[in-house]
Amino acid sequence: MRRAFAAGIAAALVAAPLAAQTAAPTAPASPRHPNIVILLADDWGFSDVGAFGAEFATPNIDALAHAGMRFSNFHVSGSCSPTRAMLQTGVMNHRAGLGNMPETIPDAHRGKPGYDTVMNHSVVTIAEMLKAAGYRTYLTGKWHLGSDPTRLPEARGYDRAFSLADAGADNFDQEPIKGLYDKANWTDNGKPGVLPKDYYSSRFVVQKMIDYIDADRASGKPFFASVNFLANHIPVQAPDSDIARYQAMYREGWTALRAARAKRAAALGIMPAGAPMVTMATTPDWQKLDSDERKAAVRVMQAYAGMATAADREIGRLVAHLKATGDYDNTIFVFLSDNGPEPTNPYNRLRNRLFLGMEYDTSIGNIGRRHSFSAIGPGWASAAAAPLSGYKFSATEGGLRVPLIIAWPGHPQVRAGAISNGLAHVTDIVPTLTDLAGVPGHGGSWGGRTVEPIAGRSLVPMLAGGAGSVHGDAPIGYELSGNAALFRGDYKLVRNLPPTGDGQWRLFDIAGDPGETRDLAAAMPDRFAAMKADYAAFAKTNQVLEMPAGYTADEQINLYAWRQQGRKRAIQAGLVLGGAIVALSALVWLFVRRRRARRVDQANADMIGT
């Protein structure tokens, strides 16, 4: 149906942990310490921001890009939860418990070390670090790192949180992704959360954050705000006015859009000029679609663009509020996506079409609106990732390379308007923010207990305009659902299992060939062999498991969904059967009681007669 996939990048192997404190800091932060705002988009592809090549409007994100630095070679996991765990902790996803997600883990891996499917208790979150240093800490929106009371944001360092424990949910109503979840698991400071009647996801997560910031303003403490959008995760939904804005666009199809985006990215300096591209085998031929298929495809991309613009507008509203309150100039902003664009077509199976047709209004005119269930599929996902190869769930650059913007308006530590093409990784965000804020991190000990050390490195030298990457030639490993990669300098070793790939290792120069079009394994056998050895060492250190024969994440997510439905149907059937048994028992009891009553009455009548 739809996937809430996972894939992590792990480099604890040789990247030296950030040197820091060995115990939890206790000194309060000075009001001069910067506020920090993380803006985490969901399933946005590499060129899904105007400042990275998008054609739809993201003026407020673009403004942050020009006020700060864009990173054109920044990597995350191929799916949400592993990225979120690394973003929260600076620790590689397997070490943090997210070797895979609940929705995609094969049964054989459940309970194995590193495969908790939730963020474990061996890591320290950035919220805990900042809170210990005197920050106010808030989170709104998608969490997806655990739902029991010990794993919700309130238990992981956040003073206030209104969070969603699931991979996604409806954007207009308090409804789940039907078929995958029985309910939308929103919590409000640890208790069941109730959404307002005028709820729209992007507007809500920003307004709730503004309310949190303002409520504690009198404390004088700096704040850390983690805003986690549902946009643009399935279901793709947007306000009518935002969809209408793009009604004249996207009629030429995804292949034309992919080419246009690649050209813009090169013109912006985000991608090398003339970088070659591949055409993904899963990209449908636009010319072979019938009239209704094209209408539906055009409409869903209009909704996708509208959803992104709606999120951007809310980011602008938050920025405007911080300017009005005098907080803007002393606030660090971080914008990123959790993985590449979503290629899943939830209507690619008959049983899915039948189920979704019963649960949603699937008419073309309702695509992207309330009660709809829409997804852009592999065609538009190929454009969203342009000019890269692949998309979410895979180990391709299209799955792992996403936009990153870091801005500290007017502050000399962040070079305004610059672009860095040096390799950067999601585990680098925590040490970068603690470095900029002047807040201690940790070196593997926290509050008297041993914890996983931070694996990332501070990007501050790159933010100041330093050339290259803070990682130098150190290897950074990655694995999720058998798709794997090893980054080292400008080179990437990569393997994708079926159906995305053929399971063979390949070697690419991702600086000059970010589209992964030229396999260098035969031309550089020594490097190829050395990087395969690096990956083997990484996999051993991180206890990476091989996938069971025949496993595909697509089949696993569908199996998960249908198991959930099976459990739901079984419960419903049990309730119906139980109700029937109770009703039948009641009827039998009434029948017996009446017969006894009639016998007593007859006996009394006989006695009176005698």
Q: Which residues are catalytic?
A: 80, 144
- Cβ neighbors of 352 (< 8 A, separation 6 or more) are 1, 179, 346, 558
Give the residues across from 41 on adjacent strands: 337
- Cβ neighbors of 59 (< 8 A, separation 6 or more) are 50, 312, 316
Structure tokens at 7: 């894939």
Alpha-helix runs per DSSP H in 138-269: 201-215, 240-244, 254-267
Biggest distance spanned by C-alpha atoms of the chain: 116
DSSP string, 121-139: TT---HHHHHHHTT-EEEE
Question: 321 and 212 in contact (C-beta within 8 Å)?
Answer: no
DSSP string, 347-394: TSSHHHHHHHHHHS---GGGTTSTT-----HHHHHHHHTTTSS--TTS
Distance CA 181, CA 347 (A): 18
Which letter does DSSP use for residue 104 in this model? T
Question: How do beta strands 223-228 and 35-41 pair?
Answer: parallel
| Phi (first) and psi of residue 317, to 5 degrees | -65, -40
Structure tokens at 376: 């852009």
Residue type at 274 in one-letter notation: G
Distance CA 178, CA 186 (A): 15
Question: 152 and 143 in contact (C-beta within 8 Å)?
Answer: yes
Helix (H) or strand (E) run with residue 160 in it = strand 160-164
Which letter does DSSP use for residue 405 in this model? E
Distance CA 134, CA 279 (A): 50
